[in-house]
Structure 1
C-alpha cells in the first residue's frame, strides 16, 4: 500500500517538472528568436548606415570636385583677364609712344624749317642790302659821269648801261622771288608732310590683309609706297634720284638697286624696299597661345631681309661713300614691334651695313636732302650773281676809263 502511494505521488512531481522544462524551453526559444530578430535588425540598420555613409562620402567627393573645378575656372578667367589688361595697356603704350615720336619728329622738322627760314631771310636781307648798295653806287657813278661828261653821254651809252644792268636786276629779282616762294611754301610742306605720313600709314594698314601670303605682290606694293614717298618729297626723278639702276657687284654679278638718291657732292644714298608682312599679320591676329611663335617668325623675317640685303652690298657696287644701305619697310608698326622685341636688331642691321627706315623717317631724310639741294641751288645763284656783278663792275670801270680818256681829249 505504501509503495503504491509513493508511486502515485511521484507522478505529479514529474509532470510539474516537465511543464517547467517546457516553459523554460519555450522561453529560451522565444529569447533566441528575439535575439535573432534584433541581430538581423541591427545588421540591416548597420548596412543602411554604411550605405548612407558611402552615399554621403560620394556626395562630398562630388561637391569637392565641383568646387575645385569652379576654382580652376575662376583662376583661368583671372589669368585671361589679367593678360588682356596687360595687352591693352601695352597697345595703349605703343600708340602713346608712336604719337610722341611723331610729335617729336614734327617739332624737329618745324625747328629745322624755322632755322632755314631764318637763314633765308638773312640771305635775302644781305642780297637786298648789296643790291641797294650797288644801285646807289651805280647811281652815284652814273650821276658823276653825266655831270662830268654830259656833252658826250649819248643815248647809245645809256642803252649800253641799261643792257649791262638789266640782267643783274632780273637775276636778283628772280632770286628774291624764289626766296619768297620757298618761305611761303615751308608751312605747306610741314602740313603736307604730316598728311602724307598719315595717308601712307593708313594705306599700309588697309592693304595688309589683301597682300598677306603673296611675296611678289608684297614687294611690288612696297616699291609703290617708296615711289609715292619719293614723289611727295619734292625730289625730281632723273636729276635728284634714279630708279632700277644696274651695277656690277663685287663678285662680278649684275645687281639692280631700287632707288639711288643723288647728292650735291656727286655721292648717292641707296634705298631698297623690303616687305616683311606675312608673319607680322599672323602675329597681330593670332590667339594668345600662338602670338609668341608668330612674333619670333616676324623678327626672323626682318633679320633675314637684313642679312640678304647686307650680303648684296649695293652701296659698294654703286660706288657710294656711305657705308650702309637704307632698308625701307612700309609698315611703321611692323618695324616698331620688331625693334621693341629685339633690342639688338638696329645694331645687327648696322653691323651688316643696313639701316632700317619707315615712311616717316624716310620722308624726313628725303626732305632734308631736298633742302640741301635748294641751298646748293641758291649758293649757285649767289655765285652767278657775284660773277655777273664782278663782270659788270669791270665793264663799268672800263667804260668810265674810256669816258675819262674821251674827256681828256
Structure 2
C-alpha cells in the first residue's frame, strides 16, 4: 500500500512536471517567434537603409568626379587668362614706353626751358644766401679782431672822460644835485659811445612799478639778448672825494678819504635794498651796476679798501668806472650784433626753406600736368582712331553712306593726324 501510494505520487509529480515544462516551452516558443519576427523586420529596414546609402554614395562619387573635371577645366581657364593677362600687360607696357618716349622727346625742350626759368631765381637765392652766410662769418671775424683796438680806444677815451670829469667836479663843489646830474650825463656819454641804441637796447629813467604799485625810475636799464636786464645806478656822491683831492694836509686828506669810503658804503647799502627784480616788465640779473663817473675816484676807493669790491659784490652790487662799464657795454653790444646776425641768418634759412617747398610743389604740379597730358594724348588717339583710322571708323562709314545713291550730303573736310 505504501509502495503503491509512492508510485502514484511519483507519477503525479512526473505528470505535473510535464505539464509545467509544456507550458513553459509553449510560452517561450511564442516569445522566440516574436523576437525572430521583429529582428527580421529590423534587418529588412537596415538592408533598405544600406541600399539607399549605397546609392547616395554612388551619386556622390559621380558628383566628385564631375567636380574634379570642372575644376581641372577651370584651372585651365585660369592659366589661360593669367597668360593672356601677362601678354597684355607686357604689350601695354611696351606701348606705354613708346608713347612716353615719343611725348617726352616732344616736351623735353619745353620742359627744360620752363625748369631753367624756374631754377634760375632759385639758384640766385641760394647763391645770395651763401654769400650772406660767408659775409656774416667774415664780419664776425673782423669784429673779433677789432675788439682789442676798440678797447685801446676806449682806454684813451676814458682818460679824457676822467680828466673832464675831474675838472667839472672841481666846478661843481658842494652841490650834490649838480653832481648827480653830471654823473648821469657822463653815463649817457658812455652809453652813446658803446654802440647800443637808446630805446632798443637800453632805457634811461623809464618809469616802472613794483607789485605794490610803488614807482621806480632806474637811471639806466640795459636789455640783454636773453630777455634779461641790467640796472645801472649813477647817483653816487663825490663831494668827499673832491675835498680829498683838494686837501693839502695829510690829516685832512685821510679824513676826507674816510668820508669818501663811508659815502660809498652808505650808497651800496641803500642800493642793495632796492628790489629792482620786483619791477613789472623788468627781469634783472642778480646784481646792480654802481657807476662812479670819475676813474680816479674809483681807483682811490679801491686802493684805500682792497675789500671794497668784494663787500659790494656780497650785496649784489658791482662797482664800475667809465672804462670798465664801457668794456661791459661793448661786450653787450657785440652780443646784440651777434644776435641780430643770427636772427637774419635764421630768417634767410627760413625763406630758403619756403622757396624750396614752393619749388618742390611746382615740380609736383608739373609732374601731375605731365600725367594729365599723357592721359589726354591717349584719349585723343583713341578718339581719332574711332574717327578715321580704326576698324569700322566713322569716316569710312560716312564714305560708304556718301557712295549710296539718293542720299544728299555736304562736303566734309577733316585733317588726318600727323
TM-score normalised by length of structure 2: 0.57
The aligned counterpart of 2:328 is: 365
Tell me by how many angstroms 1:346 deviates: 2.2
Contact preservation (8 Å) 1:204, 1:330:
yes
CA contact (8 A) 1:149 1:407 kept: no
Aligned to 2:116: 158
1:171-210 equivalences under 5 Å are 171-181=129-139, 183-184=141-142, 187=146, 189-210=150-171
Alignment of 1:15-54 (within 5 A): none
Point out the structure with max Rg over C-alpha. 2
Contact 2:231/2:284 (<8 A) preserved: no
1:257 to 190, 200, 218: 218
Contact 1:280 1:294 in 2 (8 A): yes
| Map 1:344-359 → 2, pairs under 5 A | 344-359=307-322
Q: 1:161 to 1:191 in 2, by over 3 A?
A: farther
2:227–2:283 contact (8 Å) kept in structure 1: no
Q: Deviations over 1:11-37 (max 9, x none)?
A: xxxxxxxxxxxxxxxxxxxxxxxxxxx
Structure 2 counterpart of 1:304: 266
Deviation digits for residues 82-131 of structure 1 (CA, Å, limit 9, x no counterpart) = xxxxxxxxxxxxxxxxxxxxxxxxxxxxxxxxxxxxxxxxxxxxxxxxxx
Describe the SS at the equivalent of 1:245.
Answer: coil
Name the CA distance, whole Å, in 1 between partners of 2:107 and 2:131: 31
| Structure 2 residue aligned with 1:277 | 238
Aligned-pair CA distance for 1:183: 4.5
Cα distance change on mapping 1:346 and 1:375 into 2, 3 Å: same
- Which runs of structure 2 are paired with 1:24-103 in the superposition (5 Å)? none
1-side partners of 2:308 and 2:300: how far apart? 11
Match of 2:12 in 1: none
Cα offset for 1:221?
1.0
**Which structure 2 segments of 5+ residues have no match?**
1-103, 375-418
Could you tell which deviates more after superposition, 289-298 or 204-213? 204-213
CA drift of 1:224 comes to 0.9
Distance in 2, matches of 1:282 and 1:226, equals: 23
Say whether 1:383 aligns with 2:346: yes
Once the two structures are TM-superposed, the CA of residue 284 in structure 1 deviates from its matched residue by 2.0
In 2: Cα distance, 1:162 partner to 1:295 partner: 74
C-alpha spacing 1:169/1:370, structure 2 compared with 1 (3 Å): same
Rounded to whole Å, the distance in 2 between the matches of 1:154 and 1:225 is 66
Is the deviation greater in 182-191 or in 220-229?
182-191
Segment of structure 1 superposing worse, 331-340 or 346-355: 346-355
Distance 1:234 1:313 in 2: 29
Q: Aligned-pair distance for 1:230?
A: 0.8
CA contact (8 A) 1:212 1:277 kept: no
Shift in Å at residue 382 of structure 1?
2.3
Q: What is the total number of aligned residue pairs between the two structures? A: 264
User: Which structure has more helix as a fraction of its residues?
Assistant: 1
Secondary structure at the counterpart of residue 242 of structure 1: strand
- Report the CA distance between 1:270 and its aligned residue: 0.6
Q: Paired residue for 1:214?
A: 175
* Structure 1 unaligned blocks of 5 or more: 1-145
Please provide the CA RMSD for this pair: 2.8
- What is aligned with 1:49? none
Query: How far 1:151 moved relative to its partner?
Result: 1.5
Does the aligned pair in 1 maintain the 2:187–2:234 contact within 8 Å? yes
* TM norm structure 1: 0.58
1:333 Cα offset (Å): 1.7
